[in-house]
Amino acid sequence: MRPISVYALALFCLAASGTVYAQPQLYETGPAEDASFVRFISLLPDTLEVTAAGGARLTLTPENASTTWQAVRANTPLTAKLHHRDRSEDITLTAQPGEFVTVVALVGDADWFVDIGRESPDDFSAFRVSLGLMNLDPACGNASLGVADSDIEIVSEVEHRDVRRRQINPVALDIRLLCDGQPTGSPVAMGTLRAGDRWTIVAHPGKDGPGLFPVLDRMP
């Protein structure tokens, strides 16, 4: 898929998702035909500060845990400092043209850590819902996203840091995570899904084992 098509896809996502609160732009944007996108998610129990190299800053909290997608220059190193409580984590990443990169702060066994998922989406439907499973739990092998209280699998065999996506009808849905074919954690109620929306369901480590965190894909 050509990058310009991905940019058009992003604009469709914006139209479908509606208006959201503006957030600080952390990085310079590139031309539309060469655009890539980055967002930050925090699954930590309190505030996470994200600061880009130029000094732009934003704050994530449990109530506002995800940024929108932000357009960035492709093939350009991007740096950020993530600060939580008394520790900071420096990251550097480069996005390929048309790539969507998600940076996630996660709770670990001893301390918090950062992991990154990457996706190059090539689908959009104004009449269906896109559900993607992003596996950011290294302990969850062959992760699958299933329908709760059912044997139906939406996507399956998602390895660590991979994303797999599927279009479904806009219905009321409860989902569950399976690791190596075994259900784990509690089901998550998604409610009635809206046609045209795109969701990324993050599989993440937790104190009681792997869990799911749904994120609505949004443009600024």
10-residue stretch averages of pLDDT, the chain, 220 residues long: 41 42 70 80 97 94 96 95 97 95 94 95 88 96 96 96 96 97 95 96 91 92
pLDDT the model gives residue 106? 97
pLDDT the model gives residue 34? 67
DSSP state of 33: G
* DSSP-derived pairing of the beta strands 112-119 and 129-135: unpaired
DSSP state of 55: S
pLDDT the model gives residue 22? 57
Average pLDDT of the chain, as a whole number: 88
List for the chain the helix, strand, coil content (%; round to 5).
10, 50, 40
Strand partners, 111: none
